[in-house]
Amino acid sequence: MMEKVETTPQSNLTDRAFKVGLFFKGFDGLLETLGGIMLLIISPEQLNHLARWFTQGELSTDPNDFIAAHILKTAHELTGASLIFGAAYLLSHGVVKLVLVVEVLRNHLWAYRALIGVTAAFVVYQTYRMAVKFSLSMLLLTVFDLVIIYLTAIEYKKHKLRQEIHAKS
């Protein structure tokens, strides 16, 4: 006799929240990967030109715009070794996230554990960065990652139970 894993409205909501979170995690991984590739193929001069072009409209209406000024400052600081570090950082994070999201979607149990571990490592690093210099965006990212860890743990338990039930039948 085959046992069923119980599904409740709360369980369905958790499943949907997990899938939405995975989508955002995968999209973030894709953007990081593309950003890392761009940093490798675009020269610092081109990057500065692109940042100026991207922010000129906003800065013309508000010369003190925080985000536009931050984009320009960051683009100006990305040269030489910091450019290579930025590219390696974005590529490594992006590729790892993409691989883990794909493998979780393929229901590989090891990927659930790996996603939890990698995301926990990101949380530790992000917490360190916030301790050095607080950032609201880093706080929001950290909260998002903690939610992803929680939802992944729930989904991992459900998939592990399903596998155990399937193996017994």
**Within 10 Å of residue 76's Cβ, how many Cβ atoms?**
13
- Residue in the block written with tokens 């909501």: 13
Amino acid at position 62, single letter:
D
Q: Report yes or no on 101 lying in a domain.
A: yes
Q: Which pLDDT score, from 0 to 100, does residue 123 have? A: 95
Q: Which pLDDT score, from 0 to 100, does residue 68 have? A: 85
Q: Which pLDDT score, from 0 to 100, does residue 137 have? A: 84
Q: Report yes or no on 44 lying in a domain.
A: yes
Q: Report yes or no on 28 lying in a domain.
A: yes
Total tally of structural domains belonging to the chain: 1
How far is 32 from 10, CA to CA, in rounded Å?
32
Q: Report yes or no on 89 lying in a domain.
A: yes
Q: Report yes or no on 2 lying in a domain.
A: no
Q: Which pLDDT score, from 0 to 100, does residue 149 have? A: 96
Amino acid at position 138, single letter:
M
pLDDT digits (tens), the chain, 169 positions: 444 555 677 778 888 999 999 999 999 999 999 999 998 998 888 888 888 898 888 888 888 888 888 888 888 887 788 888 888 989 999 999 999 999 999 989 999 999 999 999 999 999 998 999 888 888 998 999 999 999 999 999 998 998 888 888 7
Q: Report yes or no on 69 lying in a domain.
A: yes
pTM of the model: 0.76
Owning domain of residue 140: 9-168
Q: Report yes or no on 99 lying in a domain.
A: yes
Residues 6+ apart with CB under 8 A from 74: 51
Q: Report yes or no on 4 lying in a domain.
A: no
Helices (H), the chain: 9-41, 44-61, 66-77, 80-105, 109-132, 136-168
